[in-house]
Structure 1
Amino acid sequence: MSSKPSAIVSVLYPRIPDLKFNLDYYLTSHVPLTFKLLQPHGLLNGSVSEVVGDSDYAYNITLEFKDVQSWEKGLESGGKELTDDFKNFTNATPVFVVGKVVS
């Protein structure tokens, strides 16, 4: 049985005019890399959604963590490897929103 997350990290990829986003690479390579690097630090679950409608963002990735400290430790440990991989699937700079779960 998995733990209930107490921190949510949203990774938002902006809908820029010349956006390139290789969803196949993202799903088959970057997502497994994310879990490999962050799960030992408290990553519990994640989901990828393609944003619909007239939004400033094209993709929204939701990562659920045991707590904010788990996210920070994971970022410290694997953040560079993950950000170095961005060039393999997108030309956009993501926006990270970290929040504590309140309900």
Structure 2
Amino acid sequence: MSVSLQVIYPITKGTEFDFDYYLGTHMPLVAEHMGPHIDRTLVTRGLAGGPDMPPGHFAVATMVFADAAAMDAAMRASGPVMADVANFTNVQPQILVGEVIA
């Protein structure tokens, strides 16, 4: 059964997010260290929170794994990825691990 890991970067007062660094440096680190265990990755940049509403999140990164064992292997390799977060944002990311059902 496929599982997903979503890393959610909420926007709150005083938070910042460097998309150039995130896409140019951080995501290549994800690919290098965790990529061998990831089936697919999707990064969504927040544009709006609804009609005429500002976005509530800078971005959501979704990684899909074949199973929990693959996700566990990716997490064991994620040290350099986790250490890099402070280089592009001061946001405390939210994490959602889920079962892919559709």
Q: TM-score w.r.t. structure 2 length?
A: 0.84
Distance 1:47 1:101 in 2: 14
Matches within 5 A, 1:1-103: 6-40=2-36, 42-51=37-46, 52-53=48-49, 54=54, 56-78=56-78, 80-103=79-102
Q: Counterpart of 1:69 in structure 2: which amino acid? A: A
Deviation of residue 58 (structure 1)?
2.3
8 Å contact from structure 1 (residues 68, 100) kept in 2: no
Structure 1, unpaired ranges of 5+:
none
Q: Cα deviations across residues 34-87 of structure 1 (Å, max 9, x unaligned)?
A: 0111122x2011121122225542211111111122111111122x21111011
Gaps of 5+ in 2: none
Cα distance between partner residues in 2 of 1:77 and 1:50: 25
**Deviation, structure 1 residue 26:** 0.3
Look up the equivalent residue of 1:67 and give its one-letter code: D
Name the stretch that deviates more: 67-76 or 86-95. Answer: 67-76
**Could you tell me the TM-score, scaled by structure 1's length?**
0.84
Residue 9 of structure 1: CA displacement? 1.2
Question: What do you get for the CA RMSD once the two structures are aligned?
Answer: 1.6
- In the TM superposition, residue 93 of structure 1 has moved relative to its aligned partner by 1.0
